[in-house]
A and B are shown apart, each in its own frame.
Chain A
Amino acid sequence: MRFLLGTLLIALFVLAWQGVASLESVDDLTLASPVETFQALQDDWSLLWDNALVTLVEVLLGLALATLGGVTFAVTMHLFRPLRDAAYPLLVASQAIPVVVLAPIFVLAFDYGMGPKLAIVALICFFPITVNLLDGLRSVEPELLKLMRSLGASRLRTLRSVELPSALPFLFSGLKVAATVSVIGAVFGEWAGAEEGLGRLVLLGNNQLQTPRVYAGVVLLTLMAVALFALVALGERVACPWNRKEQPA
């Protein structure tokens, strides 16, 4: 039922898109129709695919970097309360940095290669991962912490047996947000200067008035984000089976 409704909504969206694109008053250079976009996907498939792989690698490595950094940072902040209070404003500030502005500077600093893209993806993804995990680590009921103290648990034992497992669903929430914004980060990174990648291809297509190819690129970028999200959601189901909302009948 849910699947059926989802398919129906997507079909409706594509239909509406086709409808708007077919209007006389809509410029073909502004909006490519789904049919034209699909045509471009077919015609430019190998070009699109090669560039998509480059972007995917940037996204995955950036996400991995952000996860590694975010988890380390969140756990350290959690264990040292004064550090948490001191570093929290910095953490928020890191998210307020306009990445669009920063991207060209990163390119200047790291050259055209993978470096600036990873840095930008990681910078964007770091925040939701760290903040969610921090909240998760703090979400443990005080009574449970009291029980652990009465059992004589060490700080690390409590972290390992209680706080980290409790925080796992929160970490996955952060990862879900990170997975969706990571693709945007990679595109910004490529716009600031790149030799390959879907973001660069879309930018070039825009400059060359190849509107269907631009839309094909956007569709692929969207699919990439959705697939990443689904992967994280699957990971959550596997890693936190106790956390499923729906109860067996």
Chain B
Amino acid sequence: MQTEVEAPVMEPLSFRNVTRRYPRVTALEGIDLAVRQDELMAVVGPSGCGKSTLLELVAGLQEPDAGSVTVLGATDAAARREASAYMPQRDLLLPWRDALANAALALECQGVPRAEARRRAEPLFERFGLAEFERARPAELSGGMRQRVAFLRTLLPGRPVLLLDEPFGGLDSLTRSSMQHWLADALADEPRTVLLVTHDVEEAAFLADRIAVLSPRPGRVVAEIPVELPRPRDVTSPEFGQLKRTVLEALGL
């Protein structure tokens, strides 16, 4: 009983003094970050500051050179990978699979038979605004729809930690804005622990519970800015403008 009281609340995702070096550059140095249960943490920083490396470390695609990355209490790469769902910037849908089969791929990779995987992916299409596009090939879908299929593929295995690498970076600004609203609504319905990497300050301010600002290479955390604004957020309010200014100042802009 005593231990339970004394033990700190375990964050689902934490970085402890993480450094990652490549042969020619140091990408990340001394990163300390913790993302709380059902919190969306946005990481903003200039290009090349190691934002994507941060996500790949969590996803078990890379190993830190120093320090440790802990996901749901586990530090080994396989366990980190199984606890986290990684969504790259580009949708990377397979052109020969229809939308449903593309989403189902995530389950097939876990050994679920094809037909069963399709059956389990199908009910989600309605909720993602993709009803009646199950049989469409990626080439027949708009950019926003493709991104939603990719997002569905990310969510389907039910992994607790979401890793989003500039998920809307490739979309035009109107589609991006509507996808941001859509993601905010989806997370309001079904909260998740999310680490979102972006270079878009407005996107971070709109979606995040907390914003971590990284310095140029080697990436270090130079500021952690809590976002107290109520949701849905009004991007035209003075408070929102103030928040953006705070983030931009931390970025040195």
Q: Which segment, of A65-73, A94-102, A157-165, A191-199, faces chain B?
A: A157-165
Give every chain A residue within 8 A of B211 (Cβ-Cβ): none
B88: CB under 8 A from chain A? Answer: yes
- The reply to whether A161 and B94 form a contact with Cβ atoms under 8 Å apart is yes
User: Closest CB of chain B to A235's CB: distance in Å?
Assistant: 15
- The reply to whether A240 and B96 form a contact with Cβ atoms under 8 Å apart is yes
Residue of A nearest to B153 (CB): A151
Give every chain B residue within 8 A of A240 (Cβ-Cβ): 96
Residue of B nearest to A150 (CB): B86
Contact of B61 among A149, A161, A243, A247 (CB under 8 A): A149
User: Closest CB of chain B to A113's CB: distance in Å?
Assistant: 42
- The reply to whether A143 and B105 form a contact with Cβ atoms under 8 Å apart is no
Residue of A nearest to B165 (CB): A143
Give every chain B residue within 8 A of A144 (Cβ-Cβ): 92
Q: Mark A117-147, 1 if CB is under 8 A from B, else 0.
A: 0000000000000000000000001011011
Residue of A nearest to B91 (CB): A147
A148: CB under 8 A from chain B? Answer: yes
- The reply to whether B86 and A165 form a contact with Cβ atoms under 8 Å apart is no
Give every chain B residue within 8 A of A247 (Cβ-Cβ): 139
Q: A151 to B95: give the CA distance in the assembly, Å.
A: 18
A3: CB under 8 A from chain B? Answer: no
Q: Is the interface of B mostly helix, strand, loop or mixed?
A: loop
A 201-249 contacts with B by CB, 8 A:
240, 242-243, 247
Give every chain B residue within 8 A of A148 (Cβ-Cβ): 109
Q: With A152-B109, A157-B108, A242-B137 given, is the CB distance from A147 to B95 under 8 Å?
A: no
Residue of B nearest to A160 (CB): B108
- The reply to whether B94 and A162 form a contact with Cβ atoms under 8 Å apart is yes
B81: CB under 8 A from chain A? Answer: yes
- The reply to whether B92 and A143 form a contact with Cβ atoms under 8 Å apart is yes
Give every chain A residue within 8 A of B201 (Cβ-Cβ): none
- The reply to whether B110 and A152 form a contact with Cβ atoms under 8 Å apart is yes
B149: CB under 8 A from chain A? Answer: no
- The reply to whether B96 and A147 form a contact with Cβ atoms under 8 Å apart is no
Give every chain B residue within 8 A of A150 (Cβ-Cβ): 59-61, 81, 84-86
Q: A161 to B110: give the CA distance in the assembly, Å.
A: 13
User: Closest CB of chain A to B162's CB: distance in Å?
Assistant: 12
Q: A161 to B108: give the CA distance in the assembly, Å.
A: 9
Give the A-B pair count, Cβ closer than 8 A: 48
B 59-105 contacts with A by CB, 8 A:
59-61, 81-82, 84-86, 88, 90, 92, 94-96, 105
Q: With A150-B86, A152-B81 given, is the CB distance from A242 to B92 under 8 Å?
A: no
B106: CB under 8 A from chain A? Answer: yes
- The reply to whether B109 and A153 form a contact with Cβ atoms under 8 Å apart is yes
Residue of A nearest to B55 (CB): A150
- The reply to whether B96 and A146 form a contact with Cβ atoms under 8 Å apart is no
B219: CB under 8 A from chain A? Answer: no
- The reply to whether A242 and B95 form a contact with Cβ atoms under 8 Å apart is yes
Q: A151 to B85: give the CA distance in the assembly, Å.
A: 7
- The reply to whether B96 and A242 form a contact with Cβ atoms under 8 Å apart is yes
User: Closest CB of chain A to B21's CB: distance in Å?
Assistant: 19
User: Closest CB of chain A to B179's CB: distance in Å?
Assistant: 19
Residue of A nearest to B110 (CB): A152
Q: A247 to B81: give the CA distance in the assembly, Å.
A: 38
Give every chain B residue within 8 A of A147 (Cβ-Cβ): 86, 88, 92
Give every chain A residue within 8 A of B95 (Cβ-Cβ): 242-243
Q: A147 to B96: give the CA distance in the assembly, Å.
A: 17
User: Closest CB of chain B to A22's CB: distance in Å?
Assistant: 53
User: Closest CB of chain A to B65's CB: distance in Å?
Assistant: 19
Q: A171 to B81: give the CA distance in the assembly, Å.
A: 33
Q: A141 to B94: give the CA distance in the assembly, Å.
A: 11
Residue of A nearest to B156 (CB): A151
Q: A157 to B85: give the CA distance in the assembly, Å.
A: 18
Q: A162 to B85: give the CA distance in the assembly, Å.
A: 19
Q: Which of A146, A147, A161 has the most CB of B within 10 A?
A: A147
Mark A residues whose CB is within 8 Å of B.
Answer: 141, 143-144, 146-154, 157, 161-162, 165, 240, 242-243, 247
Q: List 23 A-B contacts (CB under 8 A).
A: A141-B92, A143-B92, A146-B61, A146-B88, A147-B86, A147-B88, A147-B92, A150-B59, A150-B61, A150-B81, A150-B85, A151-B109, A151-B157, A152-B109, A153-B109, A157-B108, A161-B108, A162-B94, A240-B96, A242-B96, A242-B137, A242-B139, A247-B139
Mark B residues whose CB is within 8 Å of A.
Answer: 56, 59-61, 81-82, 84-86, 88, 90, 92, 94-96, 105-106, 108-110, 137, 139, 157
